[in-house]
Structure 1
Amino acid sequence: MFLIMRILRLLTGPIRPTRMIGPGLTFAGLLFLIGAAVTGQIDFTKFDRLAEMAAGLDGPGLPGAAIAPVRLDPNATRSSERIRIATFNIQRFGEKKSGDAEVMQNLARIISQFDLVAIQEVQSPQAMPVARLVDLLNRSGGRYDAAVSEPIGRTTYLEQYAMVWDVTRIAMLPDSAYVVRDDSDRMHRPPMVASFETRIPSAMGRRPFRFTIISAHTDPNQVSPSGKSNEMDVLDDVFLRVREYEYQMRGLVNTLMVGDLNVSTANLGELGQIPGMYSVVGTTPTNTLGTKTYDHILLDQTVTTEYTGVFGVVDYERDFGLSPAQASAISDHRPVWAEFFAHEMPPVATANRAAGSQAAAIR
């Protein structure tokens, strides 16, 4: 079995979507799609680095190479009618953390509970932590794939976004992954975007649920409501423009804004003022200490009627029996997830799904 990783090139421009293009090459069982430069020329220097990375996954003595497969909960009986989408800031997910067997095994157990996970705070130019995670999931009996952005940031401190999904239940739409263009430098880390559809057959002949994910990690120093620049007042533009772009390009209307936004629901700013915009998590704490709400899954409830009203915030100790020390070794954030019908539902003019929302623990 092989792992598919897509490395996205960050281009430059005002906030607007940028395409990812590139050829596929196979290295030691890994298929990489490399984003082409603005000129359309391929950066062949990346092929050597990716070849080394692919060979390194099985290399003796390397961090992560000897991590034993873990017993994956068969996700309790995954529904044939519903899917779970999660967002997860894996704090400083780099070489050191991805070489820790216990942390990686716990991450594999957590990720396997979901059909798609948007990950923030990956820290490795070659995306090795994500490669190791998906490799571990697949060696443990799963069938997962991943898309990873190039390192993003204004300073020498750079992060990557990643999306990991179960290929038996979710498919990424071809050429749909990109990083939002930000010529005006309005955000420290412009969001990553990708579009998906479910692969679960419908007995009723209904169409698969098709949706776009915008994954964001805001700068905590630039989200103050009283600040001179507030990234929350940029993300509304991102949401609306990406939704319009995806509708024009692929006919998609369901758009989710997910990620570590570093603000409570009350401080979503202009993003939260978009008509119909709704944070499924509400005021539920999402940090590991259980004191703050930083992470969100946002949707337009008048459009995305596939949201079932069921959401959850993973409690490492309650849901997985981990100690406080084991929990803090994973992240200072908890995964947030929401449940959606696996097939398209008819849109409604108005809806108030908040009234019917219910929190649920992973069982």
Structure 2
Amino acid sequence: METDHHIPKEESEKIEENSSRLKIKTSSEQIIDKFNNHFMTKHKKRRILKTEILNIEKENRAFLEEYWENPEDNNLLKKLPLQPLSYYAFKDGISMIGSFNIRAFGLKKLKNNDIMRIIIPILRRYDIILCQEVHLNDEEMIEKLVDMVSNSSVPYSYTLSYPVGKSLNEERFSKHSYKERYLYLYKPNKWKLLDNYIANNSQFVRMPYVAQFQHLKKPHVKITLIGCHTQPGHAYNEIKALVTDVYAYVKKKSVKKSSLSCLLSLLCLNTKEAPIFGENCEHIILMGDFNASGSYLNKTKQAELDKILAQNNLIWGISHSSDTTVASKRAAYDRFIFEVKNKNRWIGDIRVWEFDKFWKDKYDPALITKLAMRVSDHYPIEFELKLT
């Protein structure tokens, strides 16, 4: 374990000015919403909108590239002691599953050793973790990330979506749309990937990515994860579609597979692979940065979604009152949605993993928050999946 370093007060004051720049300019998606709320019918308005989007995306990219390479902040990150191994010791008979909006994770961030020094232990905490806002287009860079997370005793593997994302006016701005990739990292010595696909549904700006896993030592335990990063201005409609359309489709597909497996078991075909009749349990879990709070999803809309979830025998895994953001503003953007029938039997502890809490107990909390924002503006969320 590293020695405890002191972060001088004068060094922390140096980043005060830089920290104010964390308020990144209005996103292209918000500008689209602004214009859509008016009558954007004239060619001139469309041209102005397109120009503003390109300028803001260019400025944001330039800002983030400079931001990740800020030497003063990097020096402070380098001095933070790593968390003790006891933070990563879990109970027997559970598998830790997580979801993490890793915030604009591109090449610059991957090459920043001081930031990656914090990110890697976070990712190693999980047997399966969904990463969002992955901007690495070169799959070799994804493999480099996997190599960094892996070690000789605990290797990791991955499944990666193609770039997803579109403008709300796809036909006009598709060449300039914001796109990201979903990435599931998992331990192949514990879990086997059975299936993965994009849920092709036009109601989403970033279509959900579905991955199904089977536990190697407990082959009757399967889990299907539906990962989604909703578009902020349309969180309600996308979460609703996630439940009523995507979940319904995945559930129907799961029932068909389960029926076939039971039939094979009864016929004693392929008995080595077939599940034991009556013991097969498959969990479907919706997860990701749903932007399910604040101005994106007010209390009225939250209450409407509560009813929709209840009608589909689903329940929130992260409450409306939770805080999944690193910044001082409280918001439960990141969520799990569980099936009611499975929650008590198969789901253990559910947490927001505040990866900076260890340092806040030792240093100035305001300073630590500013440094943690360089890792991500979101905390990972996690749950324990019971295997017995």
Q: Please indicate the TM-score interval, normalised by the length of the shorter structure.
A: 0.5 to 0.7
Q: Deviations 1:309-347 (Å, cap 9, x if unpaired)?
A: 41111112214669223310111111000111124xxxx
Check conservation: 1:123, 1:160, Cα contact below 8 A. Answer: yes
Aligned counterpart, 1:195: 212
Measured against aligned partners, the alpha-carbon deviations of 1:237-265 in whole angstroms (never above 9, x if no partner) come to 11111111122135664100000000138
Map 1:176-325 to 2 at 5 A: 176-182=195-201, 185-200=202-217, 208-224=220-236, 230-236=237-243, 237-249=245-257, 253-264=282-293, 267-268=301-302, 269=305, 272-282=309-319, 283-290=321-328, 291-319=330-358, 323-325=368-370
Stretch of structure 1 that moved more, 96-105 or 316-325: 316-325
> Which residue of structure 1 lines up, in the alignment, with residue 188 of structure 2?
167
Out of 81, 99, 112, the residue aligned to residue 93 of structure 2 is 81
| Amino acid in structure 2 at the alignment position of 1:167 | P
Distance 1:304 1:253, change over 3 A: farther
CA distance in 2, matches of 1:150, 1:278: 29
Q: Indicate if the aligned counterparts of 2:326 and 2:369 stay in contact, CA closer than 8 A.
A: no
Q: 1:275: Cα distance to partner?
A: 3.3
SS of alignment partner, residue 130 of structure 2: strand
TM-score normalised by structure 2 residue count: 0.61
Higher share in strand: 1
SS at match of 1:332: coil
Q: 1:332: which partner in 2?
A: 377
Q: Give the drift of 1:140.
A: 7.2
Whole-Å separation in 2 of the counterparts to 1:234 and 1:250:
24
Alpha carbons of 1:75 and 1:285: their partners in 2 closer, same or farther (altered >3 Å)?
A: closer
Q: Which has the higher helix share?
A: 2
Q: Which moved more, 1:113-122 or 1:249-258?
A: 249-258
| CA deviation profile, 1:97-142 (whole Å, cap 9, x unmatched) | 1111121121110111111101111112224553232111124753
Instruction: State the distance in 2 between where 1:292 and 1:109 align.
Output: 25
CA contact (8 A) 1:254 1:304 kept: no
Partner Cα separation in structure 2 for residue 312 and residue 96 of structure 1: 30
| Contact kept? 1:317, 1:324, Cα under 8 Å | yes
Using the TM superposition, give the Cα deviation of residue 190 of structure 1 relative to its aligned residue in structure 2, in angstroms.
0.7
Q: Indicate the SS of the match to 1:133.
A: helix
Q: Which amino acid aligns with 1:259?
A: G
Aligned-pair CA distance for 1:73: 3.2
Percent same amino acid among aligned pairs? 22
Is this contact kept in 1: 2:227–2:288, CA < 8 A?
yes
C-alpha distance in structure 1 between counterparts of 2:187 and 2:84, whole Å: 13
Q: Secondary structure at the match of 2:105?
A: strand
In the alignment, which residue of structure 1 is the partner of 2:137? 125
Query: Which deviations, in whole Å up to 9, do the C-alpha atoms of 1:264-315 show, x marking residues without a partner?
Result: 3854537534433112211211011251110011111214544334111111
* Distance in 1 of aligned mates of 2:98 and 2:105: 17
Other-structure match for 1:44: none
Change (3 A) 1:142 1:104: farther
Deviation at 1:196, TM superposition (A): 0.8
- Deviation for aligned residue 1:234: 1.1
Q: Give the distance between the partners of 1:320 and 1:311, measured in 2 at CA.
A: 22
Give the aligned length: 261
Change (3 A) 1:74 1:130: farther
Q: Please tell me whether Structure 1 or Structure 2 has the larger radius of gyration of its CA atoms.
A: 2
SS in 1 for 2:150: helix
Judged with a 3 Å threshold, the aligned counterparts in structure 2 of structure 1 residues 79 and 169 are, in CA distance, closer, same or farther, namely farther
Matching residue of 2:65: none
SS at match of 2:214: strand
Query: Counterparts of 2:147 and 2:183 in 1: how far apart (Å)?
Result: 14
Name stretches of at least 5 consecutive residues in structure 2 with no aligned partner.
1-81, 167-173, 260-280
Counterpart of 2:179 in structure 1 is: 158
Q: Which runs of 5+ in 1 are unaligned?
A: 1-69, 202-206, 225-229, 344-363
Pair 72,97 (structure 1): closer, same or farther in 2 beyond 3 Å: farther
Q: Residue 110 in 1 paired to residue 122 in 2?
A: yes
CA contact (8 A) 2:104 2:133 kept: yes
